[in-house]
């Protein structure tokens, strides 16, 4: 796979593909210091185009909204997992609840970040993208870790969690 090159810009070490339904709202624009962090964010609004891009670009992390044209973020995650089982996938949604979080975990999401004011939405997302790109907090399967358990416990205080002996979240119960 080949990274897009542009000699007028600094070399990009990490590429984040952000898939969302609204092309006018891209909350990750300007969040990363491109020169200092070497992170480029590319946005797609069509899940099928995003899947094609995964075949032609060396994407390091995929961030997806939940409400997507013709599908939802979890169905999109399942399609991504068919060809890219180890690609970090962060579901970023304001439409989520305990049931959505449980479905996302069962489908193999790397992380689930709520886009609401209480969870500091974009700040939390940017921090989690940085952690994923740095390889921090990845469990043996590359998906779960203790920080993720703590996040879900804070986000859903009335929920119960099933975890294995390594701390990987297996399921969330509302």
Summarised one tens digit per residue, pLDDT across range 63-103 is: 999 999 999 999 999 999 999 999 999 998 877 678 888 88
Q: Using an 8 Å Cβ cutoff, are 2 and 96 in contact?
A: no
Selected residue with higher pLDDT from 159 and 71: 71
- Single out the residue of 29, 36, 31 nearest to residue 12, CA to CA: 36
Q: Is the pTM of this model over 0.85?
A: no
User: What pLDDT is recorded for position 2?
Assistant: 46
Q: Using an 8 Å Cβ cutoff, are 69 and 43 in contact?
A: no
């Amino acid at each position: 796979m080949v990274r897009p090159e542009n000699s007028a810009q600094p070399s990009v070490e990490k590429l984040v593909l952000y898939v969302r339904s609204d092309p006018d709202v891209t909350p990750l624009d300007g969040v990363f210091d491109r020169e200092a962090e070497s992170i480029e964010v590319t946005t797609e609004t069509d899940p099928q185009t995003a899947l094609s891009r995964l075949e032609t670009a060396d994407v390091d992390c995929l961030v997806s909204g939940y409400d997507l044209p013709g599908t939802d973020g979890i169905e999109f995650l399942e399609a991504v997992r068919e060809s890219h089982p180890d690609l970090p996938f962060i579901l970023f949604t304001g439409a989520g609840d305990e049931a959505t979080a449980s479905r996302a975990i069962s489908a193999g999401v790397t992380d689930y970040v709520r886009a609401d004011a209480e969870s500091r939405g974009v700040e939390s997302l940017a921090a989690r993208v940085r952690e994923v790109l740095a390889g921090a907090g990845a469990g043996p399967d590359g998906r779960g870790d203790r920080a993720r358990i703590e996040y879900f416990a804070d986000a859903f205080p009335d929920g119960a969690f099933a975890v294995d002996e390594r701390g990987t979240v297996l399921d969330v119960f509302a």
